[in-house]
């Protein structure tokens, strides 16, 4: 079973705290190229140093910004691998799935399913208010975005899933010896990590319902499916399709997407609808396809010590 794969006497919780510090440090090291580029750009252009996140993100051409920012996630992923192997003496597979090998079909199904829903939801919003969007397509920059995004964005989303639904979920399971606590903690921490996104400043804290709700959804499908494959596919589709479809001046990334949202940001049904309607539909589809049972035990029960792999 997935959580039990990380339950070992030597896996005391302080190791997860130490491992988290190491992963964060690796991520900071990965941010050095971006920081150096910002300093060099500011110095050579004689412009004032950017003082906020929006100014930093707009300092370079969007595809270059995407590349520079995503480097840190590659370093963080390397940090995860190092910590899991040398600090916890586990394999990367053990924080990925309870199956004998990674189920790529699960990842692909989840990716395609959420890609379909993402396009449909965007079309609904677009058809309701087409005047809020402008056609932003430029062939060469868009093709570069497709190439960079297809490589770098899955690295970013996979890194986040391995940290929250893999590493930390097993860590909190070690601490609490149950399932509800790691489920709750990883969902809250994942959502809270987005609190500094510019969308929060523009829309208000109500958008945290979406971020925390997404954390709950990803935690639920991980525990019910005994692995992070479905979460990997969903997260990759969410960020990649979003980057390719639509951008705005107030989002985290400005990309060479197909459309640009010119409307004033506001939190409405687009924040609540995914959490209360769309995510339950996805859970239903996954549960039927993969024959999920024993929901209460898998989501809130105690760790099955008899199933622990030593």
Interval 95-106: pLDDT, tens: 999 999 999 999
Which residue matches tokens 């005391």?
12
Kindly state the percentage of the chain with pLDDT values over 90.
Answer: 76
- Using only C-alpha atoms, the chain has a radius of gyration, in whole angstroms, of 20
- What does pLDDT average to over the chain? 92
Q: What is the mean pLDDT of residues 39-57?
A: 74
pLDDT at 273: 85
> What 3-state class would DSSP assign to 260?
strand
Rounded mean pLDDT of 41-63? 76
**Residue among 199, 243, 189, 220 nearest 292 (CA):** 220
Residues in contact with 102: Cβ distance below 8 Å, sequence separation at least 6, in sequence order: 93, 96, 229
pLDDT band at 47 (very low <50, low <70, confident <90, very high): low
The beta strands (E) that lie in 217-282 are given as 246-248, 259-261
Task: For residue range 54-92, list pLDDT tens digits in order.
Answer: 677 778 899 999 999 999 999 999 999 999 999 999 999
At 225-258, the pLDDT tens digits run 999 999 999 999 999 999 999 998 877 778 999 9
Collapsing DSSP to helix, strand or coil, 178 comes out as strand
Cα gap 44→40, rounded to integer Å: 6
pLDDT in tens, 202-225: 787 888 899 999 999 999 999 999
* Distance from C-alpha of 52 to C-alpha of 286, rounded to nearest angstrom: 41
Any idea what DSSP says for residue 264?
P
H or E element that contains 282: helix 279-289
Q: How far apart are CA 63 and CA 79, in angstroms?
A: 25
Distance from first CA to last CA of the chain, Å, rounded?
12
The confidence band for 133, taking pLDDT boundaries of 50, 70 and 90, is: very high
**pLDDT over threshold 70, residue 48:** no
Q: Tokens representing 169? A: 């979920």
């Amino acid at each position: 079973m997935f959580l039990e794969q990380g339950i070992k006497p030597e896996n005391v919780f302080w190791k997860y705290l130490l491992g988290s510090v190491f992963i964060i440090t690796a991520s900071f090291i990965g941010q050095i190229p971006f920081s150096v580029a910002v300093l060099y750009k500011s110095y050579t252009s004689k412009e004032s140093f950017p003082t906020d996140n929006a100014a930093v993100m707009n300092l370079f051409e969007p595809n270059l910004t995407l590349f520079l920012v995503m480097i840190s996630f590659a370093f963080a992923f390397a940090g995860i691998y190092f910590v899991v192997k040398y600090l916890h003496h586990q394999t990367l597979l053990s924080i990925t799935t309870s199956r004998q090998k990674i189920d790529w079909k699960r990842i692909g199904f989840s990716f395609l399913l959420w890609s379909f829903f993402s396009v449909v939801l965007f079309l609904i919003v677009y058809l309701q208010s087409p005047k809020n969007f402008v056609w932003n397509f430029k062939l060469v920059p868009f093709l570069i975005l497709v190439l960079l995004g297809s490589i770098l964005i899955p690295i970013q989303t996979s890194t986040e899933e391995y940290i929250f639904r893999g590493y930390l979920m097993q860590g909190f399971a070690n601490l609490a010896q149950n399932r509800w606590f790691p489920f709750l903690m990883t969902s809250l921490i994942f959502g809270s990590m987005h609190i500094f996104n510019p969308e929060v400043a523009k829309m208000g804290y109500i958008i945290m319902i979406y971020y925390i709700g997404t954390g709950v959804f990803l935690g639920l499908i991980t525990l019910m499916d005994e692995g992070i494959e479905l979460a990997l596919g969903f997260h990759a589709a969410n960020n990649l399709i979003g980057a390719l479809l639509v951008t705005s001046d107030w989002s985290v990334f400005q990309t060479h997407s197909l459309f640009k949202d010119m409307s004033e940001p506001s939190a409405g049904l687009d924040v609540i609808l995914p959490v209360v309607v769309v995510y339950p539909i996805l859970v239903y589809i996954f549960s039927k396809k993969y024959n999920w049972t024993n929901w209460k035990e898998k989501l809130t029960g105690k760790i099955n010590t008899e199933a622990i792999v030593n």
